[in-house]
Amino acid sequence: MLTMALAAVAAPAAETAEAVSYSQSYDMTVDMRKLGCVLGLTFRQMDDFDYSYERFNQTMSEAAKSAGESRDAMVKKAVEENFKEMNFILKPAQYEKYKRLITVTLINRGILQG
């Protein structure tokens, strides 16, 4: 009897912990100053980059709350829109480096398939 009661309490807690860690993998928060240095951004680029990246991070957070195919579609759309905006903001070499960094990050977190 006690075992069943513990199982009933533990199952929702495990689901909640799994959901928290799952949504954390969609948290794309980064140190903008360090990323700006890695990409070699100018001060002018940094403002536009910061705004666009924050929108990307919000969209990814919303995608984490969705389920199944809608999540995958939201992630795909968020990544495509972000790449489109960054292609406009960044120079070609910066854009290629950014695209590689984001793609590898998403693959390592299990969000995109390699």
* pLDDT tens-digit map of 54-113: 999 999 989 888 888 888 899 999 999 999 999 999 999 999 999 999 999 999 988 888
Q: Is residue 113 part of a domain?
A: no
The answer to whether residues 47 and 85 touch, using CB atoms and an 8 Å cutoff, is no
What is the pTM (predicted TM-score) of this model? 0.76
Closest CA relative to residue 49, chosen from 62, 36, 34:
36
Does residue 114 lie within any of the structural domains? no
Cα(97)–Cα(35) distance, rounded to whole angstroms? 11
Range in 27-41, 45-59, 91-105 with the lowest mean pLDDT: 27-41
Does residue 78 sit within a domain? Answer: yes
Instruction: Look at the chain and report how many structural domains it folds into.
Output: 1
Instruction: Report pLDDT for 39.
Output: 94
Question: Considering the domain boundaries, does residue 36 fall inside one?
Answer: yes
Domain residue limits at 48: 2-108
Would 7 be classed as within a structural domain? yes
- Residue 64 inside a domain? The answer is yes
Q: Does the residue 61 lie in any domain?
A: yes
